[in-house]
Chains A and B, each alone.
Chain A
Amino acid sequence: MAAADSPSTALRRRDLCSRGIRLAGKMRADVVDLLDAYVEQQGLDASASVAAVEGVPLAAVEHWDEQTGTQRLLENLAAYRAFRALLAQMLEEQREQLGEADAGLGRALAAVLLQVSAFAYHLEELLRLESRGIPGEEGDGQPPLPRLSLFEQKLRGLGVLRELAQWAVRSVRDLRQLTKPSLATSAAPALAESP
């Protein structure tokens, strides 16, 4: 696959990755700020452990260093599409709960949602560059997210933002892997073992 890259493809990939890295970095900073505001506004304990909630994509991954470039892009895309839906629901719940009482938090949520959408689009562009088909969105076929109690909504929101913050870091790392010249989307590098 590496040999098939034209110089313009390689350049475009590098450009998309660089911009993606900057976008993910900004997104992470905004999510961290949003997380602080959310915890305070919802009256939650910042150190509370939140069990994995159904539908929230976990950033945790085993054998990360062995993933191919395509795997990275596909997993990232699936995650950010899921976050797009989750954040949209959080925004709706926020408006229902508080109306305009905390417009600041609502605006911050909307801003992050926009960045998530932009990043998802970025990932689609990278996948197109790899001549990979973009997986169809499962939104229509997926069951609606369960209606939760108010407290459960708050906890889920905490879980969503925490995982999104982790994903943003992971995405930066994933895109850096993609920019390595020795890597193509199908090559699987292994980190050198230290003595």
Chain B
Amino acid sequence: DSHIQYERVGADVTMKCGSMDWDAAVTWTANGTDIDESRLNGSYLILKNVDLSQSGQYSCYEGSSWHLKYQTYLRVGTPPKEPVLMCRSNNYPKGFYCSWHLPTPTYIPNSFNISVIHGTKDMVCEKDAVPKNRCHIRYLQLFSTVKYKVTLTVTNALGKNFTTLTFDEFAIVKPDPPESVVAKPVPNNPRRLEVSWQNPSSWPDPESFPLKFFLRYRPLILDQWQHVELSDGTSHTITDAYAGKEYIIQVAAKDNDIGTWSDWSVAVHATPWTEEPKHLTTEAQITETTSASTSSFMAPPTTKICDKGAVVGSGAVAVCWTAGLVVAAYSVLFI
């Protein structure tokens, strides 16, 4: 009959050929390949100091009849190390979630059991389908000074380990980063950038539990960030940007009263509005130079060479200048 056998890395393993006597003539195979007799002690298979590569199916056949007498699946692995556990409330005041992982793989199946105690009360942490190593709890009480104690135990065939986290309701509150961060230049304002964002969608009730925000920005060419803390609203105008320089901007969020700051949002880039050099865009000049030639080139009078609106990517300004140079080159040709 076939079964699974778990052994620690580095262990010495002795496999018996079922009920066969020690002196019976047998052949052992590993994953279908015959094993050399030197590894046998009578009919026993001896594997010394096993490593991960020796995991596989081991079969024992009676010598003359080649009847399968024994089969086992050897899984080499390790007992679990202390798991890493994290608990966080990104949807306060609804509840919190805990997630965990092992610092190193065990190479064999593990099962996790989580217990949550609030004072003397046991609470059930409902496991999420996705991701697997995560569970969530609804707050039954708010504003409690009694701490929560979460114990995670991980068990496999070779051992078990556990870790415990103790925290109070406020300490684990950490929103997700703000969403939909947009940065735009302000027309005719070479030192301004308008930034707007939205509350994270996971925060259930921003009206009753308002968030405050932290904005950081710097020109790409510098390492030092400027910071602005904003106690309300989801927009801000930067008024001290360096003219013509591309900026990187991020926003973080925090509950107004408790908990910690979110991670930084996805970074957005923007460059303040710059005035077009006059000789590249004067309509009269383009008309004058083209009328003296036989070429049919004519720049449409109302079409802008490039659009400076919306989020300006790092390539957009370069495109504008390139287009301008092309127009200048054509103008020179036709004079």
Give A contacts to B, CB under 8 Å: 25, 28, 49, 58-62, 64-65, 162-163, 166-167, 169-170, 172-173, 176-177, 180, 191-192, 194
Contact = CB atoms under 8 A, between A and B. Distances in A.
Contacts of A167: 143
Interface of B: 91, 93-94, 140-147, 170, 204-205, 207-210, 257-258
Given A169-B258, A172-B257, A180-B207, A194 B143 contact: no
Given A169-B257, A176-B208, A180-B208, A60 B141 contact: yes
Contacts of B208: 173, 176-177, 180
A166 B147 CA distance: 13
A58 to B, nearest CB: 8
22 contacts: A28-B257, A49-B147, A59-B143, A59-B145, A60-B142, A60-B145, A60-B146, A62-B141, A64-B93, A64-B143, A166-B145, A167-B143, A169-B257, A170-B142, A172-B257, A173-B257, A176-B208, A180-B207, A191-B93, A191-B94, A191-B205, A192-B204
- Of A25, A61, A169, A177, most B-chain CB atoms within 10 Å: A169
A106 to B, nearest CB: 24
A176 B93 CA distance: 14
Contact of B145 (A163, A172, A176, A192): A163
Contacts of A172: 257
Contacts of B258: 169
B209 A173 contact: yes
A179 to B, nearest CB: 9
Contacts of B147: 49
Contacts of A173: 208-209, 257
A49 B94 CA distance: 25
A65 B144 contact: no
B149 to A, nearest CB: 11
Contact of A169 (B91, B94, B170, B210): B170
Contacts of A60: 141-146
A49 B166 CA distance: 12
A191 to B, nearest CB: 6
Contacts of A169: 143, 170, 257-258
Contacts of A191: 93-94, 204-205
B260 to A, nearest CB: 15
B209 A162 contact: no
A184 B170 CA distance: 28
A151 to B, nearest CB: 20
A60 B88 CA distance: 19
B257 A25 contact: yes
A61 B143 contact: yes
Given A166-B144, A191-B94, A194-B91, 11 more contacts: A25-B257, A49-B147, A60-B145, A60-B146, A61-B141, A62-B140, A163-B145, A169-B257, A176-B207, A176-B209, A192-B205
Contacts of A176: 207-210
A64 B205 CA distance: 13
A167 to B, nearest CB: 7
Contacts of B210: 176
A170 B205 contact: no
B143 A170 contact: yes
Nearest to A181: B207
A140 to B, nearest CB: 29
A62 B205 CA distance: 18
A114 B274 CA distance: 56
